[in-house]
């Protein structure tokens, strides 16, 4: 919102109050989204096309033995598979390409651990395939 040139003090005050109100609404929406995301008991990540973690919930951080902020920007395969390359069979790339959710049971690099990875593409505002996916580990 732009301040009108030559606006009177009452108009400027109204603009400021409107901005404060909008900021409060956005802040509350952000807080509610983060609380909901962190309430999920399974590790959940928002991951970029190049497998970098854009957002992680508390369960993901706990399972990695790190703080949420320590996960941001790191490749998911380095954190969860302890490898230098993406996990073979990871459903994220195909999920982003097709625009459809995918779920695969992975045991990367012949590790004895196996886990289910679900990838759920996030669409852009215009409905096109996005560059982010929500990845859930079970």
Tell me, what's the pLDDT at 6?
Answer: 64
Tell me, what's the pLDDT at 72?
Answer: 97
Indicate the pairing of strand 132-137 with strand 102-106. Answer: unpaired
Q: Please provide the size of the chain in residues.
A: 138
The overall longest dimension of the chain from CA atoms, in Å, is 70
Tell me, what's the pLDDT at 75?
Answer: 96
If you compute the radius of gyration of the chain from its CA atoms, what whole number of angstroms results?
20
Contact 71, 57 (CB under 8 A): no
Tokens of 137: 């580990």
Which CATH fold would you assign to the domain 41-137?
A: Beta-Lactamase (3.30.450)
Strands lying side by side in the sheet with 102-106: 53-56, 44-48, 132-137, 115-122, 102-106
Domain spans in the chain, listed from the N-terminal domain onward? 1-39, 41-137
One pLDDT digit (tens) per residue for the chain, 138 residues: 555 566 677 777 788 889 999 999 999 999 999 999 999 998 899 998 899 999 999 999 999 999 999 999 999 999 988 889 998 888 988 888 888 899 988 876 556 667 788 888 887 777 666 667 787 776
Indicate the pairing of strand 53-56 with strand 102-106. Answer: unpaired
The model's pTM: 0.77
Tell me, what's the pLDDT at 50?
Answer: 92
């Amino acid at each position: 919102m732009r301040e009108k040139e030559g606006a009177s003090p009452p108009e400027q005050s109204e603009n400021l109050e409107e901005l404060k109100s909008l900021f409060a609404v956005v802040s509350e929406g952000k807080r509610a989204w983060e609380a909901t995301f962190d309430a999920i008991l399974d590790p959940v990540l928002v991951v970029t096309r190049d497998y970098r973690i854009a957002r992680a919930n508390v369960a993901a951080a706990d399972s990695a033995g790190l703080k949420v902020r320590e996960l941001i920007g790191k490749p998911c395969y380095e954190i969860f598979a302890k490898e230098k390359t993406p996990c073979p069979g990871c459903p994220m790339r195909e999920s982003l390409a097709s625009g459809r959710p995918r779920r695969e049971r992975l045991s990367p690099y012949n590790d004895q651990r196996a886990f289910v990875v679900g990838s759920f593409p996030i669409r852009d505002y215009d409905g096109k395939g996005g560059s982010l996916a929500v990845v859930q580990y079970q």
